[in-house]
Chains A and B, each alone.
Chain A
Amino acid sequence: MSDPVQAKDKPARWDWGRLSGLAIPLLAVLTAMIVGGVVILAAGGNPFAAYLGMFEGAFGTLNALSETTVWATPYILAGLAVAIAFKGGLFNIGVEGQLTLGAVAAALVGYGLPALLGGPIPAVIHLPLTIGAGMLAGGLWAAIPGWLKARFGGHEVINTIMMNYIALNLTSFLLNGPMKDPSPNNVLARTPNIADSARLIPLFEGYRLHWGFILAVLIAVLLWWVLWKTALGFEIRTAGTNADAAKYAGINVQRTIILSMLFSGMLAGLAGAIEVTALNFRHQLGYSSGYGFDAIAIALLGKTHPAGVVFSAILFGAMRNGATRMQFLTQIPTDIISVIQALILLFVAADAIIRVIYRIRTKEGRAAMTRGWGG
């Protein structure tokens, strides 16, 4: 071992060698795409044409780029939601339900508030309220399993999954019942359109790219700042890494559990709210399906770091967006994306596989995150 620290060779807090950690996620994506290519081949398609089509669909034109950011926005927020829960030591598998209820709440305030108050409301009040309602709904939906964990030790994995199904049932009930669009030709389970004053405007005329994307990136920066530059962030991270030591350090672990879940749910709810206010201008059954598991893959690919999440989200958004063009050009079903994403998650999780394939040497150890069902 070495001598105590000398004053002259002062080591630094951050060293660029840390970026070598990026190698694994990048290689995981590459390997997943190769395996995905094999699957495409086996299903009778041409992998190169498929990936070219996907790339073209994702980045080929300005419109494509705009659409990619549109897809990426909820992914960024949902991925951040999962990431902050992870940092707090929790698995939030309930992003799906939190996002859905966020959308429903936003839609409700979007179309319902003017009706309730008997007249139009200025956008400067209506829009924040709409978005706020979404965040509140999502936050609450996540805080319940968070409280159950803090108070009873009830494992958040199953509880958040259960909340997803409850949310699904609740949404079906609402969208087929009290919140159903009463316009005469409507048979679908959807809400009425929200008022103009509750809508987020696009950044540029003619493209769907909207302020929500900017907001999402800003929130990623905010999250980074909170986690690493504030005492609260220190508490959340410490409780998430070693709850025993955290208690020792005077941290109220029950409080951080609930806060982590609350923030997580708020981000998921925000994702849903933005979909409503910026894109769809209403909520319809099935609109928010599939984000939950994608969010987990995105968060893990991004190593649960806000910057990583943003990039992973853009990647996933690109894949989803490009898949439509790929299907149009090559008839390969867009579901192949799910397979590729599952493979990405596989390789990121079992990074030993990547290390073996590409002969990378390992560095630090891993931190245990959960303790089975014992809470």
Chain B
Amino acid sequence: MDLKRFLFIGFIIVILFGVVVLVGASTTPPLVLIVSMVATTLSVVTPLALGSLAGIFCERSGVVNIGIEGMMLTAAFFGWFGGIYMNTILGLDPLPSMLVGVLVAILTGGLMGLLLAVLSVTFKVEQIIGGTVVNILAIGVTGFLNRQLFFESNGLFGGQLPHAPGVLPRIHIPILADIPVVGKMFEQQPITIAAIVLVFVCHFVIFHTRWGLRTRAVGEHPRAADTVGINVNRMRYINVVIGGMLAGLAGAYFTLESVPSFEPLMTNGRGFISLAAMIFGNWSPIGAWAAALVFGASNALQINIQFFREMIPAQFAFLQQSYVLGMVPYVLTMLILTGLIGKTTPPAAENQPYEK
């Protein structure tokens, strides 16, 4: 990650935090606002961080994955459904039900990853089309099952939307969360914590382990890897499934940690923004996380500014309109992709099926 990009990220984050502090300055001390922003940012960045990790594993091994959005959506649905099934039909307690849900979500993501792998590696389908297939399938299947299972009178729940087991509880990290004021940002839900840990773990795996070296080799020059005895297609399969599982965990965030319900298309483009974060982070986990933080921060701004609706000076009233702030991540993504803020180098062999 070069200096230009770090500075840009830092600059934007400072601005975003600054707006909140300024607007709420009259009622709340800055430190409280900053802590609140950090806590919210870390939480909302979770699907983006996990999504970009998913993208990194796939692309580093040479498979372009624009189906992360679909993988997240499918996992969100099935994870949610798994939790409800355990809780309502099998009578399990809420917390274990939700954990089962998370597992189901991860598994679902892995299966969607397997689908992409089969299409891209075995059938050598154009990878962007493969990703589109995943996305369309996700929308169709989740839409259909959502209606069939929950809203039809002959569905599993007799047409009545069952009570969901809830959302995963916040974990109070000992010592750190007890610090006055600042401690609030150390109380996070499990998937959020897992995401942060995974960023660093994955960074280590990609750059400092045997698996990472071989994966990167397969994504840069698969023939070279083949000549030293590495099974290129097998590596790609496994990496894409890992990516799918990470996307699955991101899906679990939506329906088991963020809100206890499923809405069609609820992922709302975050799978695609993850890809932008990945590109801007130059295919490095920590880099992508830093880029994702920018998006997360703008999202957090949108959320936090709701609390100060009355305080906003007239000139900034338009900020209230969620549509305006809502456009920021997307515009930022496009700006990033122009490459004006630093050049990025994709894995050299991506998007090309390997032929012996």
Is chain B found bound to chain A in the same assembly?
A: yes
Contacting pair A336 B144 (CB below 8 A): yes
Contacting pair A93 B132 (CB below 8 A): yes
**A-facing mask of B341-356, CB < 8 A → 1, else 0?**
0001011001110000
Least distance between B243 CB and chain A CB atoms (Å): 15
A154 at the interface (CB under 8 A from B): yes
A123 at the interface (CB under 8 A from B): no
B262 at the interface (CB under 8 A from A): no
B331 at the interface (CB under 8 A from A): yes
Contacting pair A352 B337 (CB below 8 A): no
B140 at the interface (CB under 8 A from A): yes
CB within 8 A of B141: which of A91, A164, A339? A339
Contacting pair B129 A173 (CB below 8 A): no
Given A155-B337, A339-B140, verify A162-B330 contact (CB < 8 Å).
yes
Cα(A43)–Cα(B143), bound, Å: 13
Given A152-B339, A335-B143, verify A300-B129 contact (CB < 8 Å).
yes
Return the chain B residue nearest A369 by Cβ: B126
Question: Residue among B64, B130, B268 with the most chain A CB within 10 A?
Answer: B64
Return the chain B residue nearest A151 by Cβ: B338
Contacting pair A44 B337 (CB below 8 A): no
**B-facing mask of A150-166, CB < 8 A → 1, else 0?**
01111101110111111
Least distance between A83 CB and chain B CB atoms (Å): 14
Contacting pair B133 A342 (CB below 8 A): yes
Contacting pair B133 A335 (CB below 8 A): no
Contacting pair A154 B334 (CB below 8 A): yes
CB within 8 A of B351: which of A148, A169, A371? A371
Return the chain A residue nearest B62 by Cβ: A372
Contacting pair B147 A333 (CB below 8 A): yes
Question: Which of A224-232, A234-242, A343-351 forms contacts with chain B?
Answer: A343-351
Contacting pair A296 B132 (CB below 8 A): yes
Contacting pair B139 A165 (CB below 8 A): no
Cα(A372)–Cα(B349), bound, Å: 9
Contacting pair B340 A152 (CB below 8 A): yes
Question: Which of B6-14, B19-27, B232-240, B269-277 forms contacts with chain A?
Answer: B269-277
B258 at the interface (CB under 8 A from A): no
Contacting pair A350 B123 (CB below 8 A): yes
Contacting pair B327 A353 (CB below 8 A): no
Contacting pair B132 A158 (CB below 8 A): no
Q: How many residues of B contact A (CB 8 A)?
A: 53
A250 at the interface (CB under 8 A from B): no
Contacting pair A158 B346 (CB below 8 A): no
**B-facing mask of A10-38, CB < 8 A → 1, else 0?**
00000000000000000000000000000
Given A43-B148, A152-B339, A372-B351, verify A173-B334 contact (CB < 8 Å).
no
**B-facing mask of A172-207, CB < 8 A → 1, else 0?**
110000000000000000000000000000000000
Contacting pair B351 A338 (CB below 8 A): no
Tell me if B's interface is mostly helix, strand, loop or mixed.
helix
Least distance between A338 CB and chain B CB atoms (Å): 3
Contacting pair B338 A152 (CB below 8 A): yes
Cα(A372)–Cα(B338), bound, Å: 15
B-chain residues with CB within 8 Å of residue A358 when the two chains form the complex: none
A-chain residues with CB within 8 Å of residue B140 when the two chains form the complex: 335-342
Cα(A151)–Cα(B337), bound, Å: 11
**A-facing mask of B52-63, CB < 8 A → 1, else 0?**
000000010000
B326 at the interface (CB under 8 A from A): yes
B-chain residues with CB within 8 Å of residue A371 when the two chains form the complex: 351
Cα(A331)–Cα(B159), bound, Å: 12
For window 119-147 of B, CB contacts with A under 8 Å fall at: 119, 123-126, 128-130, 132-133, 135-137, 139-141, 143-144, 146-147
A-chain residues with CB within 8 Å of residue B323 when the two chains form the complex: 169-170, 172-173
How many A-B pairs have beta carbons closer than 8 Å: the answer is: 149
Least distance between A373 CB and chain B CB atoms (Å): 5
A4 at the interface (CB under 8 A from B): no
CB within 8 A of A373: which of B119, B148, B324, B346? B346
CB within 8 A of A370: which of B123, B126, B338, B339? B126
Return the chain B residue nearest A375 by Cβ: B339
Given A152-B337, A158-B272, A158-B276, verify A338-B119 contact (CB < 8 Å).
no
A-chain residues with CB within 8 Å of residue B321 when the two chains form the complex: 173
Return the chain A residue nearest B272 by Cβ: A161
CB within 8 A of B132: which of A165, A293, A350, A374? A293
For window 149-181 of B, CB contacts with A under 8 Å fall at: 151-154
**B-facing mask of A322-340, CB < 8 A → 1, else 0?**
0000000001110111111
Cα(A369)–Cα(B340), bound, Å: 25
Contacting pair B132 A331 (CB below 8 A): no
B-chain residues with CB within 8 Å of residue A157 when the two chains form the complex: 66, 128
Question: Residue among B135, B276, B323 with the most chain A CB within 10 A?
Answer: B323
Cα(A165)–Cα(B268), bound, Å: 8
Contacting pair A170 B327 (CB below 8 A): yes
A297 at the interface (CB under 8 A from B): yes
A-chain residues with CB within 8 Å of residue B324 when the two chains form the complex: 169, 173
Contacting pair B143 A338 (CB below 8 A): yes
Contacting pair B279 A373 (CB below 8 A): yes
B-chain residues with CB within 8 Å of residue A346 when the two chains form the complex: 119, 133, 137
Least distance between A82 CB and chain B CB atoms (Å): 11
Least distance between A136 CB and chain B CB atoms (Å): 21
Contacting pair B136 A148 (CB below 8 A): no
**A-facing mask of B303-324, CB < 8 A → 1, else 0?**
0000000000000000001011
30 contacts between A and B (CB under 8 A): A39-B144, A145-B334, A148-B334, A151-B338, A152-B339, A153-B339, A157-B66, A157-B128, A162-B330, A165-B330, A169-B326, A169-B330, A172-B323, A173-B323, A293-B135, A293-B136, A293-B139, A296-B136, A333-B148, A333-B152, A335-B148, A338-B143, A339-B140, A339-B144, A349-B133, A352-B123, A370-B128, A372-B351, A373-B346, A374-B346
Residues of A within 8 A of B (CB): 39, 43-44, 91, 93, 145, 148, 151-155, 157-159, 161-166, 169-170, 172-173, 293, 296-297, 300, 331-333, 335-343, 345-346, 349-350, 352-353, 366, 368-374
* 20 new A-B contacts at CB < 8 Å, known A335-B146, A338-B144, A345-B129: A148-B338, A152-B338, A152-B339, A154-B334, A154-B337, A158-B334, A162-B333, A293-B136, A300-B129, A336-B140, A338-B139, A338-B143, A342-B137, A346-B133, A349-B129, A366-B126, A370-B126, A370-B128, A372-B350, A374-B346
